[in-house]
Structure 1
Amino acid sequence: MPTRQLFATGFYEGALGDDALIGELDDACRDLAVEDKAGRAWSRAHGYRGYTSYASLNDLPARDPRFADLVRRLDRHVAGFAKDCGFELGKRLRLDSLWVNVLKPGGTHSGHLHPHSAVSGTVYIAVPPGSGALKLEDPRLPMLMAAPARPDTFVYAEPSAGSVFLWESWLRHEVMPNAAKAERVSISFNYR
Structure 2
Amino acid sequence: MLIILDRDGVINEYDGNYICSADDWHPITGSIDAVARLCHAGHRIAIATNQSGIARGFYDVDELDAMHDKLEQLVEAAGGCIDLIAYCPHHPDDHCRCRKPLTGLLGQIQSHYHLDSLAGAIMVGDSRKDLEAAFAADCQPVLVRTGNGTDTERHLDARPIPGAEVAIYDSLSTFTDALLSAEGW
TM-score normalised by the chain length of structure 1: 0.26
Structure ranking higher in strand proportion? 1
Structure ranking higher in helix proportion? 2
| Structure index of larger Rg | 1
